[in-house]
Amino acid sequence: MSTVQTNRIQHSTGTGNNIILNAEGDTQVNSLNGGALSGLRNQLINGDFRVAQRGDDFFSSAPAPTDDPYTLDRWCVSSIIAAQPTRLARQNNDSPPGFAWSVALYANGSPAGASRQSLIQAIELQRPGNNNQFAVGSTWTLSFWIKSGANSTVGVSTGFRPSAQTAGPTPEEFSDTVNTTTSWVKLSHTFTIANTADASDQCFAVIFYNAVAANTAILLSGVQLEPGPVATPFEYRPMGLELALCQRYYVKDETVYVLSIPSSTTNARYTTLVFPQTMRSSPEVSFTLDGGVDSGAVATVNGYRVGTVVGNTTTQVSLSGYTANAEL
C-alpha cells in the first residue's frame, strides 16, 4: 500500500483548487456533485424567501415600536431612522439563476417616503449568552445573490444581539459595504468569530441595509451562512422542512374551528389549538371568536386552549384561523 502526499488537487485546465488538504486532517472542497456538502449547513431559514405566511408585500408609513417588524418568514425590517417608512416586497419576476423568488428592500422615494432600512434575520442561540455553534475562533462564510435598481452601495454585517432589532453591547463580528449594479452577482464574505456573546444576547444576526439614501431598491436571494471558509452552492431544503423550521417562530392557520359544547346543560365552549411545531417560546396568539369572547388562557409552546361562556346552551361559537408569534 502506498501513500500519496500532497496539499491540494486541481483540475488540469482549472484555475482553482478542487480539494485542499491541511496538516490537521481537514479537507476543503467547493462542492460535491454541484450541491451542498451536507444537510443543514445553512444557518439561515428561508434564505431563498420561498415561505411567506404573512404575505408578499409590506409597507408601513410610520412604523411604531409596537408594530410587528416581521415580513417574509424569519426576516424583519427596521428603519435606520426611527419611525420612518419601510417597505419590502417579494417578487417572482426578477431572481438569479436557480431561484424562484427574490426580495426587494426599498430606499428613499420608492415608493414615495420609504426610507433607508435594514433587513435582518436573527439566528436563535441554543442558550442566551452562549456562543453555541458560533464559537470564538470558528470560521463562517456568508454568501448571497444581489443586485439593485441602479448602481448603489449596500451594507452587510453580522453579530450577537439580544433580539433581531436590538443591538446589544457585543461588538459586530464584521461590517462591510459592497457595491451593487443592475445585474445579479453572487458575493461572499468569510469571517472569524472574535467575540463572546453577552448574557443578554439571544441570537446571532445577519443584517443587510441601504448604505446610501438612494432612490432605488436592493434585491436579494439565496442568502446562506455556513461554517468554513468556502461559499458552497445554496442549500435547497424540501419545502415541508423549510416551512416546519419557520413554524417554530410563526404560525398562520386558516382552519375554521368550532368550539365544542361539553354538555347540554353548560354555557361553556372550548377548543384546543395544537401548533404544528413546538415553538421557540410561549407565543402571542391572535384570533377573533364568532359568537363569544375568549377567556384569555396562557399559551404554551405546544398549543392554546380557547374558551368562552355564552348566554345559552345552544349558541355555536367558532373562530376562523389564528396566528401564533414567537419571533426573536
CATH number of the domain that residue 225 is part of:
2.60.120.260
3-state helix, strand, coil in the chain (%, to 5): 0, 40, 55
Is the residue at 14 inside a domain? Answer: no
Q: Would residue 69 count as lying in a domain?
A: yes
Q: Are residues 189 and 305 in the same domain?
A: no
Element (H, E) at 79: strand 76-79
**Secondary structure of residue 220 in the 3-state scheme:** strand
Query: Does residue 309 share a domain with residue 183?
Result: no
> Is the domain of 159 the same as that of 255?
no
- 155 lies in the same domain as 124: yes
Q: Is residue 10 part of a domain?
A: no
Q: Do 190 and 265 belong together in one domain?
A: no
Residue 117 lies in a domain: yes
Q: Are residues 256 and 240 in the same domain?
A: no
Q: Which residues contact 260 (CB under 8 A, 6 or more apart)?
A: 269, 270, 271
214, 246, 278: which is the final residue of a domain? 246
Distance of CA 22 to the CA centre of its chain: 34
Contact 297, 306 (CB under 8 A): yes
* Region for 204 from its dihedrals, namely left if φ exceeds 0, alpha if ψ lies in -120 to 50, beta otherwise: beta
- The residue from 213, 246, 279 where one domain ends is 246
Other Cβ atoms within 10 Å of 310 Cβ, number: 19
Same domain? 290 vs 149:
no
Mean pLDDT for each consecutive 10-residue tract of the chain (328 residues)?
82 82 80 65 97 91 66 88 74 96 76 65 97 95 93 92 94 93 96 97 94 74 95 94 98 93 78 96 94 87 92 82 96
Domain end call among 246, 263, 296: 246
Radius of gyration of the chain from Cα atoms? 23
Q: Would residue 13 count as lying in a domain?
A: no
Number of domains making up the chain = 2
Instruction: Give yes or no: residues 169 and 265 share one domain.
Output: no
pLDDT recorded at residue 80: 61
Q: Beta strand pairing status for 289-290 and 102-106?
A: unpaired
Q: How far apart are alpha carbons 91 and 108 in whole angstroms?
A: 19
Give domain status of residue 20, yes or no: no
Q: Indicate if the alpha-carbon torsion angle 142, 143, 146, 152 is positive or negative.
A: positive
Is position 85 within any domain? Answer: yes
Question: Does one domain contain both 238 and 266?
Answer: no
Whether 196 and 279 share a structural domain: no
Which whole-number Å values give the CA distances from 130 to 63, 197, 204, 227, in the listed order?
32, 6, 10, 17
d(CA 178, CA 186): 11
The pTM score is 0.88
152 bridge partner residues: 180
Task: Classify burial at 264, counting beta carbons within 10 Å of its beta carbon; exposed 0-12, middle 13-18, buried 19 or more.
Answer: exposed
Q: What's residue 140's pLDDT? A: 95
Q: Would you state the pLDDT for residue 114?
A: 45
Whether 260 and 145 map to the same domain: the answer is: no
> What value, to the nearest 5°, has the Cα angle with vertex 44 and ends 135 and 180?
105
Sign of the torsion formed by the C-alpha atoms of 155, 158, 163 and 167: negative
Q: Is the peptide bond before 128 cis (omega within 30 degrees of 0)?
A: no
Distance CA 295, CA 285 (A): 13
* Structural domain contains residue 213: yes
Q: Domain range holding 266?
A: 250-325
Q: CB-based contacts of 23: which residues, under 8 Å, 6+ apart?
A: none
Are 165 and 234 members of one domain?
Answer: yes
